[in-house]
Amino acid sequence: MRAIVCTGYGSPEVLQLREVEKPLPKDRQLLIRIHATTVTAADCEIRRFDFPGWIWLPLRLWFGIRRPRRPVLGQDLAGVVEATGKAVRSFQAGDRIFATTGVGLGAHAEYICLGEQTADGALAHLPANLSFEEAAAVPYGGLESLQFLRKANIQPGQKVLINGAGGSFGTFAVQLAKHFGAEVTAVDLSIKHAMLRALGADRVLDYTRDDYTLEAGAYDVVFDVVGKGPFSASVRSLRAKGRYLLSNPRLSQLVRGIWISLTSDKKVIFGAPSGKSQDLAYLRELIEAGKVRPVIDRRFPLEQMAEAHKYVETGQKLGNVVVTVYSGRRP
């Protein structure tokens, strides 16, 4: 089968299209023919190995010292079950599914084996109203946003600000926060504002010219999706008992966040666990009900994976970048 192999850590040119061995499903696994996958900022971070110093060494030991131990990257996928192990009960050959592999990676290939029940990833039947490309854009951003916002316990009428609202996480966070009844302020580049308004944002700000932290006590929840907002000022912008959701925290932010959570009525929340299969099924219900939808900026064929990485790294993408793996033309 064809797969994109990460031959080392570095620029997008380390990604090479190669023929690799097709996997075989174990007793509790599904063999899935992947129709579509995505490229996320996390994929680019792994390829570059661009991580904070305090977690650099343990992650390097986990992923591989000289080159990735799991050389096929990618977490999101949508496709068709081609075969199942003898102990699989919930799926059968021909089922259309969407999934995330979690830390196992491996989605940038024509085939993958995933467990029917997996501790790291999530797997569910495809939403009836989505194509494979659209469905592939759901698991990564949708599940992470859902887990963070659930931790915030958003109540109807509360004010929620989402910093970095125009990407994979943010576009789902805006829609989910609105679904939970919040008044949403979305922060991102002005080129993304029309899209954010269409997703339901009540107010939009451009971080290059607007400082959302000037309003002390303005928000019940601040969700910093990109982890680049000013920490102390963001905490000050919270109301009493407010929650600061922080993705990709630095070590100093972790320490300060724990201290603030212990010594004040405000809470700093980080390290939201990845969602499970039942959470992905919940997102499917919202999608089929028209409450949430994925946003796709550009599509690339598998052969142009390096170009997809380069585009994601510009920071200009609106929502998700999707890679078409199989379109029905190859045997």
What share of the chain in percent tops pLDDT 90? 80
The long-range contacts involving 127-130, CB below 8 angstroms and separated by at least 24 positions, are 127/98, 127/284, 127/287, 127/288, 128/288, 129/287, 129/288, 130/98, 130/287, 130/294
- 193 compared with 62, residue with greater pLDDT: 193
3-class secondary-structure state, position 115: strand
pLDDT for 32 beyond 90: yes
Q: How many CB atoms lie within 10 A of CB 104?
A: 17
Query: For residue 272, what pLDDT is reported?
Result: 66
Nearest in space to 248 (alpha carbons), one of 51, 91, 30, 74: 51
To the question of pTM greater than 0.85 for the whole model, the response is yes
Q: Mean pLDDT, the chain, as a whole number?
A: 93
The answer to whether 213 touches 236, Cβ cutoff 8 Å, is yes
pLDDT for 195 beyond 90: yes
pLDDT for 331 beyond 50: no
Q: How many residues in total does the chain contain?
A: 331
Query: For residue 252, what pLDDT is reported?
Result: 85
- Catalogue all structural domains in the chain, each as residue range(s) with its CATH number: 2-138+294-324 (3.90.180.10), 140-269 (3.40.50.720)
Coarse DSSP helix, strand, coil percentages of the chain, rounded to the nearest 5 percent: 35, 25, 40
What pLDDT digit, counting tens, does each position of 236-294 carry?
999 999 999 998 788 888 889 999 999 999 999 987 666 789 999 999 999 999 999 99
Tokens of 210: 């607007």
Q: What is the mean pLDDT of residues 215-234?
A: 90
d(CA 180, CA 7): 43
